[in-house]
Amino acid sequence: MTWATIRKGAAEKAAANLSEAVRRDFTWDSARQMLDGLPGGGLNIAYEALDRHVAAGHGSETAILWFGKDGSRQGFSYADLSGQTARFANVIVSHGLAPGDRLFALSDRVPALYIAALGTLKAGLVFTPLFSAFGPDPIRMRMEIGEAAALVTDAGTYRRKIAAWRGEIPSLKLVLIIGDEAPEGCVALGPAMAAASDRFEVVATQPEDPALIHFTSGTTGRPKGAVHVHGAVVMHAETGRYALELSPGTRYWCTADPGWVTGTSYGIIAPLVNRVTMIVDEADFELERWYSMLQREKVEVWYTAPTAIRMIMRAGREAAEPYDFSSLHFMASVGEPLNPEAVVWSNEVFGRPFHDNWWQTETGGIMIANTRAMDVRPGSMGRPLPGVEAAIVQRQGDGVRDCRDGEIGELALRPGWPSMMRAYLHEDARYKKCFVGGWYLTGDLAMRDGDGYFWFVGRADDLIKSSGHLIGPFEVESALLEHPAVAEAAAIGIPEETAGEIVKAYVALKPGHEPSDELEREIRGLARRKLGPAVAPREVVFRKTLPKTRSGKIMRRLLKARELGLPEGDISTLESDES
């Protein structure tokens, strides 16, 4: 499959924050100049995100524009947030919490969640956000692994999901309830904040002090708790500017929930450190709401995920026609491979392509990206950002060997970028195993072309081996998505005697299409023409939806386990299960 490169004009390239000259001269020391550091020494994410902007006279600029599910709307200036987070920090300190303690958050995207995140960091505690939609077991498991000292949540969630076992978590000292009233044994955040001072001296954390714990999405197995430090803010500042085109005043919308690393790194920290005006929408995806938001709020930079893009595409280009997207100047995507079809489609419908970028919970920030100044090769995740050294390698003995351009291997990163995870909680051996021959091995398979663009092939766990061919699910799925009836696709390998494995695909259809034998044959036929008989799926089955994680990733391992009648494994992050 080849897709024409989307070329950018000279003016577009010149407008980009990351020019070739900046790339060439980049050093991590120069990136540190984007930050101030604490006045008395030390580095603290929340200070970089809020207080320093206030000290520099930007307190009245809008930091957050918040939109409630019920249609309400609220604006917060940098000064407002600085004061509110100081109050929050005072509240938790007054309850005896100390630097290094872990505070968990379990809340919808309401302002208190954002205040809690940054207030926690100001006080030197470690912030750990969870998806509010998690059920009691996933919440409990993570709070146990993370030895939660405090929890911020709402009264309903507390009663329904936590009250029954709260007493069994010995580390848990404090439960703060968003709002004015709290169940017994909990503290209501509203009155506590009102009574607290809006001044707080930010704790003098050092770059290597832990700041955040993020649990991975659980796409390939039991979620791991990745520990990140305050020094990661260098990466957030830098990638916000260079990979996402953030500048002071940019109107920016990251659609991710802070329960997923993207919603914290790029839904809280990177935008505020870069002094943008960021949009927070409490509601989940709804096409008209999203299109109206982009138009009405004049969103300039939009960061979302392939699962949302596929939902937008499902509705067709007619749905976009009534809207004016002329404010948008940069659109980016992360979390799963972005099918070439989606890049081309977005370029036609929005007049700009989605720019795919790649990273993981473990990397803490964007590593490989299509940037504004780059021509986009649909299906490629772009080139390593400045300061990032990436390679394609094969494991060999105790070390690795480099792959040639065009050869598939494991994506590897040279350790040393500021936001690299510093540990997997309680899984030391697993952490150490990620580092081989001087590289951090990502567990993803990819290849690099002769111009230095990286192409995602699949997760090592998802690779299909059929009659001597190595088949990445992404390639198969991208071909299936070219069929006009297909909205989503997942490909897995099924054991078979002669071939070793054969490819089986699951597809969900766009509205207006019904499953039929004829359609199945047609889709398989298209795949055979695009991919050849050795790679094309032998069987295509229809599903209403595909199983996904809460961060929107298709769980191929679950399709496979079900297909083979094997145990389903950890399904704590499974979002919907209508199949």
Touching Mg ion, residues 281-300 (CB under 5 A): none
Taking the complex as a whole, the smallest distance from the CB of residue 312 to ligand ATP amounts, in Å, to: 17
> For 401-458, where are the alpha helices, taking DSSP H only?
428-433
Q: Residue 441 and residue 365: Cα distance in Å, rounded?
A: 16
Site for ligand ATP in 374-403 (CB under 6 A): 381
In terms of CB distance, is 47 or 474 closer to ligand ATP? 474
CB of 557 to ligand ATP, least distance (A): 8
Q: Could you tell me the two tokens for 220?
A: 């390939």
Return the number of the residue (466 or 573) whose C-beta is nearest Mg ion: 573
Give, rounded to a whole angstrom, the gap between the first and last alpha carbons of the chain: 30
Pairing of strands 486-496, 469-471: unpaired
Q: How far is the CB of 360 from Mg ion (least distance, A)?
A: 5
Q: Which does 444 bind (CB under 5 to 8 A by kind): ligand ATP, Mg ion, none?
A: ligand ATP
Q: Which of 75, 221, 351, 399 binds ligand ATP (CB under 6 A)?
A: 221
The C-alpha angle with vertex 15 and arms to 11 and 18, in degrees rounded to 5, equals 125
Burial label for 372, CB within 10 Å (0-12, 13-18, 19+), is buried
- The stretch among 16-24, 113-121, 214-222, 246-254 that binds Mg ion (CB under 5 A) is 214-222
Structure tokens of 104? Answer: 């968990």
Stretch that binds ligand ATP, among 56-64, 100-108, 124-132, 356-364 (CB under 6 A): 356-364
Which strand (E) or helix (H) includes residue 383? strand 383-384
Of residues 44 and 219, the one with the C-beta less far from ligand ATP:
219
Compute the least distance from the CB of residue 417 to ligand ATP, in Å. Answer: 15
Per CB under 6 A, which region of 173-181, 263-271, 276-284, 354-362 contacts ligand ATP? 354-362
Closest residue to Mg ion, based on beta-carbon distance:
216
d(CA 560, CA 464): 11
In the bound state with ligand ATP, the residue whose beta carbon lies nearer, of 149 and 338, is: 338
Question: Please, which of residues 332-351 interact with ligand ATP by CB under 6 A?
Answer: 334-337
Measured N-to-C along each axis, helices 111-122 and 78-94 cross at an angle, to the nearest 10 degrees, of 60
Part in contact with Mg ion (CB under 5 A); list of ranges 215-223, 227-235, 302-310, 384-392: 215-223
Instruction: Return d(Cα 569, Cα 560) in angstroms, integer.
Output: 11
Q: Return d(Cα 170, Cα 148) in angstroms, integer.
A: 9
**3-state secondary structure labels for all residues of 145-190:** HCCCCEEEEEHHHHHHHHCCCHHHCCCCCEEEEECCCCCCCCEEHH
Which of Mg ion, ligand ATP, none does 473 bind, CB closer than 5 to 8 A by kind?
A: none
Q: State the CB neighbour count (10 A cutoff) for residue 14.
A: 11
Residue listed under structure tokens 């320093």: 52
With 0-12 CB in 10 A as exposed, 13-18 as middle and 19+ as buried, what is 351?
Answer: exposed
Among 216, 339, 346, 572, binds ligand ATP (CB under 6 A): 216
Instruction: Name the one range near ligand ATP by CB under 6 A: 231-239, 250-258, 307-315, 352-360.
Output: 352-360
What kind and span of H or E run contains 390? Answer: strand 390-396
**DSSP β-ladder status, 174-178 and 187-188:** parallel
Task: Answer yes or no: are the C-beta atoms of 255 and 282 closer than 8 Å.
Answer: no
Q: What share of the chain is helix, strand, coil (3-state, %, to 5)?
A: 35, 25, 40
Residue given tokens 């524009």 in the structure block: 65
User: Please, which of residues 250-269 interact with ligand ATP by CB under 6 A?
Assistant: 261
Region binding ligand ATP by CB under 6 A among candidate stretches 2-10, 153-161, 329-337, 509-517: 329-337
Stretch binding Mg ion (CB under 5 A), from 145-153, 211-219, 298-306, 494-502:
211-219
Among 51, 80, 356, 475, binds ligand ATP (CB under 6 A): 356
Pick 221 or 533: Cβ nearer ligand ATP: 221
Smaller CB separation from ligand ATP, 34 or 141? 141
Q: Which does 340 bind (CB under 5 to 8 A by kind): Mg ion, ligand ATP, none?
A: none
- Beta carbons of 355 and 331 less than 8 angstroms apart: yes
Choice between 17 and 307, CB closer to ligand ATP:
307
Q: Which of 205, 361, 466, 478 binds ligand ATP (CB under 6 A)?
A: 361
- Per CB under 6 A, 406 contacts ligand ATP: no
146 sits near ligand ATP (criterion: CB under 6 A): no
Question: Per CB under 6 A, does 572 bind ligand ATP?
Answer: no
Q: Which tokens go with 17?
A: 């924050």
From residue 169 to residue 208, what is the string marking binding to Mg ion with x (rule CB under 5 A)? ----------------------------------------
277 touches ligand ATP (CB under 6 A):
no
Tokens standing for 123? 């006080």
Go through 457-494 and write b for each residue having 16 or more CB atoms within 10 A of its CB, e for each that does not: bbbeebbbebeeeebbbbbbbbbbbbbebbbbbbbbbb
Among positions 218, 263, 353, 418, the unique one binding ligand ATP when judged by CB under 6 A: 218
Long-range contacts (CB closer than 8 Å, 24 or more residues apart) made by 182-185: 182/155, 183/155, 183/158, 183/159
- The smaller minimum CB distance to Mg ion, of residues 163 and 463, is found at 463
> Considering beta carbons, is residue 274 or 360 the nearer one to ligand ATP?
360
Name the helix (H) or strand (E) containing 21: helix 20-25
Around Cβ 542, how many Cβ atoms within 10 Å?
18
Site for ligand ATP in 427-446 (CB under 6 A): 442, 444
Q: Smallest distance from the beta carbon of 219 to Mg ion, in angstroms?
A: 6
Options 220, 265, 371, 478; binder of ligand ATP; rule CB under 6 A: 220
CB of 59 to ligand ATP, least distance (A): 34
- Distance between CA 261 and CA 257 in Å, rounded? 8
Which one among 134, 290, 456, 542 touches ligand ATP, defined by CB under 6 A? Answer: 456
Rule CB under 6 A: is residue 364 a binding residue for ligand ATP? no
**Which residues contact ligand ATP by CB under 6 A?**
216-221, 223, 261, 334-337, 356-358, 360-361, 381, 442, 444, 456, 459, 551, 553
**Which residues contact Mg ion by CB under 5 A?**
216
